[in-house]
Homo-oligomer: A and B are copies of this chain.
Amino acid sequence: MGIYPPSLGRLIEQFSKFPGIGQKSAERLALYALRSPKELAEGLAQSLLEVKEKIRFCSICFNLTDKDPCPICTDQRRANGSLCVVEGPGDQLAIEKSGAFKGRYHVLQGVLSPLDGIGVEDLRIAELMSRLRNETIKEVILAINPTVEGEATVSYLADMLRGKDVIVTRIALGIPLGGDLKYIDSMTLKRSIDNRSSCAS
């Protein structure tokens, strides 16, 4: 366009390749990087390079890690017999932050999606089955996002795990805390009524 100095234009273009960052936001970020002390831009640049160099997938749970195997897979206190199966690293982070789970994880690295050409062999399902044979696992918790593809993956995994000596559960679907029945979609509402729990305890 010739409006920006070329190197500034390139920085704006690079920022705008990221998700949720449009032209305007990219401009704002680039101008902020320019205005700020050198350390800010250099710090981000260095972290970007470092992360691409250091981060890999854990060879056991396929989560992101600096060290292989990852700290959770090597922590004996977390070998409590519970295995939480998630779709991607972001889901694992969300559960870990909630502090609600103290066992180990298995990251599928996707869900079954025939339309996108993602089949059973593209996910870490064979590795999950091998862990069930080699580790002492009492319960598999399916914490997969309730999308169409996620539901199909849950069904597939539940079928695969049937007959194995392991309890298979899935996380509850229902109204989120602070939600309002008026604004909840009817499929979620139906689920939350079907899955109602006793108030006795």
C-alpha spacing A52/B41, complex, angstroms: 7
Q: Whole-angstrom distance from the CB of A69 to the nearest CB of chain B?
A: 12
Q: How many residues of A contact B (CB 8 A)?
A: 54
Which positions 68-102 of chain A face chain B at CB distance < 8 Å? 70-71, 89-90, 93, 96-97
Q: Taking the full assembly, how many copies of this chain does it contain?
A: 2
Q: Whole-angstrom distance from the CB of A88 to the nearest CB of chain B?
A: 8
C-alpha spacing A38/B201, complex, angstroms: 53
| A contact face: mostly helix, strand, loop, or mixed | helix
C-alpha spacing A21/B39, complex, angstroms: 18
Closest to A53 in B: B7
**A182 part of interface (Cβ distance < 8 Å):** no
Q: Given A6-B66, A66-B7, does the pair A43, B31 have CB atoms closer than 8 Å? A: no
**A49 part of interface (Cβ distance < 8 Å):** yes
**A20 part of interface (Cβ distance < 8 Å):** yes
**A167 part of interface (Cβ distance < 8 Å):** no
Q: Whole-angstrom distance from the CB of A78 to the nearest CB of chain B?
A: 13
Q: Chain B residues near A93: list those with CB within 8 A.
A: 3-4, 27
Closest to A6 in B: B66
**A14 part of interface (Cβ distance < 8 Å):** yes
Most B CB within 10 A of own CB, among A15, A27, A41, A52: A52
C-alpha spacing A142/B86, complex, angstroms: 57
> Are A51's CB and B30's CB within 8 A?
yes
Q: Chain B residues near A178: list those with CB within 8 A.
A: none
**A33 part of interface (Cβ distance < 8 Å):** yes
- Further pairs besides A2-B71, A20-B28, A31-B90: 9, Cβ < 8 Å: A5-B66, A7-B50, A10-B50, A14-B40, A14-B44, A17-B44, A18-B33, A27-B93, A33-B51
Chain A contacts to B: CB under 8 angstroms: 1-8, 10-11, 13-15, 17-21, 25, 27-34, 38, 40-52, 54-55, 64-67, 70-71, 89-90, 93, 96-97
